[in-house]
C-alpha cells in the first residue's frame, strides 16, 4: 500500500519536473530567438 503510493507520487514528481524543464527550455529558446 505505502510502496504503491510512493511509486505513484514518484511518477507524478518526475512528470511535473519534466514538464517544468520542457517549459523552461521552450522559454529560453524563445528568448534566445528574439
Domain ranges for the chain, please list them: 1-34
User: What gap in Å lies between CA 33 and CA 17, rounded to an integer?
Assistant: 24
**CA torsion through residues 8, 14, 19, 20, sign:** positive
DSSP code at position 28? H
pTM: 0.54
Q: How high is the pLDDT of residue 10?
A: 85
User: What gap in Å lies between CA 7 and CA 10, rounded to an integer?
Assistant: 5
Using one digit for the tens of pLDDT, what is the confidence trace for 9-29?
A: 888 888 999 999 999 999 999
Q: How high is the pLDDT of residue 6?
A: 73
Amino acid at each position: 500500500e505505502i510502496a504503491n503510493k510512493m511509486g505513484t507520487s514518484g511518477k507524478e514528481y518526475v512528470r511535473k519536473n519534466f514538464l517544468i524543464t520542457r517549459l523552461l527550455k521552450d522559454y529560453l529558446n524563445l528568448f534566445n530567438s528574439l
